[in-house]
Amino acid sequence: FIWACKNYDGDVMSDMVSSAFGSLAMMTSVLVSPQGVYEYEAAHGTVQRHYYKHLKGEETSTNSVATIFAWSGALRKRGELDGLADLVGFADKLEKATLDTIEAGEMTGDLALITSLENPTKLSTRDFILAIAKRLAA
């Protein structure tokens, strides 16, 4: 009952749980309608402060993992629905490149604060995406 009062689909509660266990920017949601329509989304977390820094030309360290996984999930589903094995494979490779980047110790500031890896490299938003792209191209 309490969960329903917070938000019927549990979205608010899942955001609270994910932020309590690390980083809200690591959580995605998959919503499926009764008609079988899928929606992939990143958590609601706001990065307003980062956005204003970006507009000023300042460097940010915004964690983009949830956004990447929302896109990869949607691309994978589209590939599955249309029988496009290459698109499914790309989604898998994108997720693996993202996880490999973090596991190699290259991550945004929010993850660097909570990792158990020794001496992580804190990257800006741009450099984090470039590190993922480098592994994706390999």
Residue boundaries of the structural domains of the chain: 2-137
* pLDDT attached to residue 27: 77
Residue 8 has a pLDDT of 55
Q: Using alpha carbons, list the distances in angstroms from residue 109 to 19, 41, 86, 98, 106.
A: 15, 22, 33, 15, 10
122 vs 20, higher pLDDT: 122
In tens, the pLDDT along 14-43 reads: 666 666 666 777 777 788 889 989 988 887
The pLDDT of residue 2: 62
Spatial contact of 69 and 98, defined as CB atoms under 8 Å apart: yes
Q: How far is CA 52 from CA 25, 42, 129, in A?
A: 18, 20, 19
Is the pLDDT confidence value at 48 over 80? Answer: no
Q: Read off the pLDDT band of 119 (50, 70, 90).
A: very high
Mean pLDDT, residues 68-90? 97
In 3D space, the residue among 67, 86, 62, 87 whose CA is nearest the CA of residue 77 turns out to be: 87
